[in-house]
């Protein structure tokens, strides 16, 4: 049986996009082909009200295999007579898929645990909400290999953390923990490493059930409401427990 490196599962109104190449969930060319196929044939056609992205196993994703990607780009590069170069299809498609997720008008939540490097972080940054484990590790290391983050990273990073922080993170290729990422606003919620996926599911469920006209520009307001909702829920359950005692 052929292994699928990306899975799309639907449960109730929520679709789960799973990076399925453990342990590192590396974004190889095979992964990219599977990712584009799943996006084209399943995600685009699915009637879901929210999408959850996570990695199978300990890590979200350790990013692209740059060496493989370079070989692929070199072999597919076509230079036109007028000096215009064709962009390799695979690279173009993966970028289009990332942009597609970013532009969706339904909530897209990433649950980040373990490593979230390079293209993995770029995928997470195309999500509308990032929930991270406190000990998750995030970075854009492309610069250390002499390239730049080429899957929307130079666009989404400054949109999320602002120009100055983005330039520092891209040029230094520094690793941030989940807690540090929360401090600069790179992620929206930080949890214990065992609760990350569950919290992301809960947030998405809350959004799907309670936010009537969703706009990704307003996610931070929705999150404030979610936190109030969660506190109230907890207070009610404590009150109920007291009654039983």
Partner 1 sequence: MYHSSVRNNIGILEIIFSNESKKEEFIDITDTTQKIFHDIDVLMIRLCKTDDNLRMIKYGVIEEFIKFLDHYQLPTIAIIDGLCCGVALETALSADIRICSNDTTFRFSEDLFAESIAYQSKIRKLLGNKFSMWQIGCDSSLTAEKALHLNLVNHTYNKKNLEDQAFQFAQSLIKGRTRETILAVKQCLNYFKKYEQGTDFNILIEEETKQFLSLIQGAEL
Residues in the site for partner 1, rule: CB under 8 A? Answer: 66-67, 69-70, 73-74, 77, 85, 87, 91-92, 95, 99, 143-148, 150, 152-155, 158-168, 170-172, 184-185, 220-221
Tokens linked to 206: 């809350």
Residue 228 CB contacts under 8 Å (≥ 6 apart), including other chains: none
The strand order across the sheet containing 115-117 reads: 115-117, 137-139, 176-177
Nearest CA-CA partner of 105 in 208, 232, 29: 208
Closer residue to partner 1 in complex, CB, 58/95: 95
CB of 136 to partner 1, least distance (A): 18
What the block records as the tokens of 87 is 């962009």
Nearer to partner 1, 22 or 162 (CB): 162
Identify which of residues 59 and 130 has a Cβ nearer to partner 1 in the complex: 130
* Residue 188 or 199 having the CB closest to partner 1: 188
Distance CA 58, CA 114 (A): 6
Q: How far is the CB of 50 from partner 1 (least distance, A)?
A: 20
- Torsion sign over Cα 89, 91, 93, 99: negative
In eight-state DSSP terms, residue 43 is: I
> What minimum distance in Å lies between the beta carbon of 76 and partner 1?
11
Query: Which of residues 57 and 173 has its CB atom nearest to partner 1 in the complex?
Result: 173
Q: Shortest gap between Cβ of 192 and partner 1 (angstroms)?
A: 23
d(CA 204, CA 51): 8
Helix (H, G, I), strand (E, B) or coil at 209: helix
The minimum distance between CB 243 and partner 1, in angstroms, equals 39
């Amino acid at each position: 049986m052929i292994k699928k490196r990306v899975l799309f599962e639907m449960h109730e109104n929520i679709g789960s996009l799973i990076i399925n190449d453990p342990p590192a969930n590396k974004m190889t060319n095979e992964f990219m082909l599977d990712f584009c196929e799943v996006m084209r044939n399943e995600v685009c056609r699915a009637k879901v009200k929210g999408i959850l992205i996570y990695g199978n196993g300990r890590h979200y994703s350790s990013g692209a295999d740059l060496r493989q990607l370079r070989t692929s780009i070199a072999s597919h590069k076509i230079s036109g007579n007028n000096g215009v170069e064709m962009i390799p299809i695979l690279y173009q498609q993966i970028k289009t898929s990332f942009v597609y997720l970013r532009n969706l008008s339904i909530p897209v939540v990433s649950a980040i645990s373990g490593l979230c490097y390079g293209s993995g972080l770029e995928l997470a940054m195309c999500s509308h909400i990032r929930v991270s484990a406190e000990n998750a590790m995030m970075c854009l290391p492309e610069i250390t290999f002499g390239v730049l983050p080429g899957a929307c990273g130079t666009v989404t990073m400054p949109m999320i953390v602002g120009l100055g922080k983005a330039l520092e993170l891209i040029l230094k290729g520094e690793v941030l923990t989940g807690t540090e990422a929360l401090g600069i606003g790179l992620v929206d919620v930080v949890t214990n490493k065992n609760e990350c996926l569950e919290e992301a599911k809960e947030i998405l469920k809350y959004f799907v059930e309670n936010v009537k006209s969703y706009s990704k520009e307003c996610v931070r307001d929705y999150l404030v409401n979610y936190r109030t909702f969660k506190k109230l829920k907890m207070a009610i359950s404590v009150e109920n427990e007291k009654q039983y005692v």
